[in-house]
Structure formats: C-alpha cells, structure tokens
Amino acid sequence: MFKRPMSSRFHAILLFGYPGAGKGTQGDRLGSRKGFFHLATGDVFRSLDPDSEHGREFQYYAAKGLLVPDSLTMAIFRSYLYNQIAAERYQPEKEMLLLDGIPRSVEQARILQDLVEVSAVLHLKASDLDVLADRIVKRAVESKREDDADTEVIHRRFRVYEEQSMPVLACYDSTKIHELDALLPMDEVTDRINGIVDPIRYRIFPMH
C-alpha cells in the first residue's frame, strides 16, 4: 500500500471496475453534481493536440499498436489536469476529483500518489461477466461502433483488466475501498454511490 504526506495533493475518488461495469455512466452522473469533477481517461486522450509533443509521442505508439508507456500516460494526464484548472473547469479547492479509467496499472498508481490523495475507491464488481459483455455489445450497436461488439475482443479486455488493473486495488487502504454490485439497476448503484461519497466530500470541503 502506498502512503505519502498529504501536502498539496488533489482530493480524488477512483471509479474502478471491469469494462461495461458502468464507470462512465456513474462518473457522468456524479460529475454533473455540484462539488465533483469527472475526469475520464478517454477524454484526456481525445483532447490531445496531434501536433504537440505529447500528441506525437502518443501517435507513435498508437500507430504501431503498442501500449502507451505508463510514464507518458501519466504525463499526459498531469498536463490535462492542470489545463482544466487553468481554464477553471476544475476547482480543486472545492471539488472532488473523480477519476475514471486511471490508474490502470500499479505503476500508474505509484506515479499518481504524488499528485492526488485518494479518499475512496468505488469498486464496481460483477459476478457475471457475460452480462457486462452484453452491455458492451448493446452499447456498440446503438452507437454504430460494430467493431466494439466483437465478444472475443471484449473478453480479451476483461483478461487485460484482471492482469493489469485488478492488482491496483492492493495499492490502497482496504478501508477506502467500497464494493458495489455493478449488476444492480443503474439508479440503485447511483444512490449507493451518493451515500458513500457525500459524507467524504462534506468532510473535506465543509464550506462548499
């Protein structure tokens, strides 16, 4: 488990779980509420200027089908985060940072510890991965992204999550990890999440 003095790190809550577990949906819902700023990894990479240094480095790996190094991923994340602060979209003095899709590896978690103080980990668990696969297929068809509907690819993503991301949970104090059933109705999951995060936010930002 990682520990660092609090200093001036940003207060964060992590959304954690298999692809299709509902991280994006729950992140959007919570991020729409006052006092929370939702930051999804996909948004970070989509915002990259292809002509920037980070953009060119990212394209180099993406074009070759290679994994983007953790150090580059975190450098891009850090730059994006500070840009959000400069643009006053994220106000760290009164908003909880809600991280969706980062960290995805133990190394990313190690790098992240110098930037954020993790107040809670919302672990969206699923006992039946076929249900999650069906969700992903349905979403892909509805958004006309048939390439994302390949069940073999989906289950490969599940295995990558188990091998690379699941070990990240061990990086955090078990008392901060809150397990939620991702197979429950979305509204019920949202209610349970609100019941967890609201006391945390009020404790950290009592005047907001």
Whole-model pTM: value is 0.89
Per-residue pLDDT of 132-151, as tens digits, reads 999 999 988 888 777 777 88
Q: Specify the CATH number for 10-202; select among 3.40.50.300, 3.10.20.30, 3.40.50.410, 3.40.50.1820.
A: 3.40.50.300
- Say how far apart CA 33 and CA 87 lie, in whole Å: 19
Residue 66 burial by Cβ neighbours in a 10 Å radius (0-12, 13-18, 19+)? exposed
Average pLDDT, the chain: 92
- Say how far apart CA 24 and CA 80 lie, in whole Å: 18
Per-residue pLDDT of 51-98, as tens digits, reads 999 999 999 988 887 788 999 999 999 999 999 999 999 999 999 999
How is residue 6 annotated by DSSP? -
Secondary structure of residue 13 in the 3-state scheme: strand
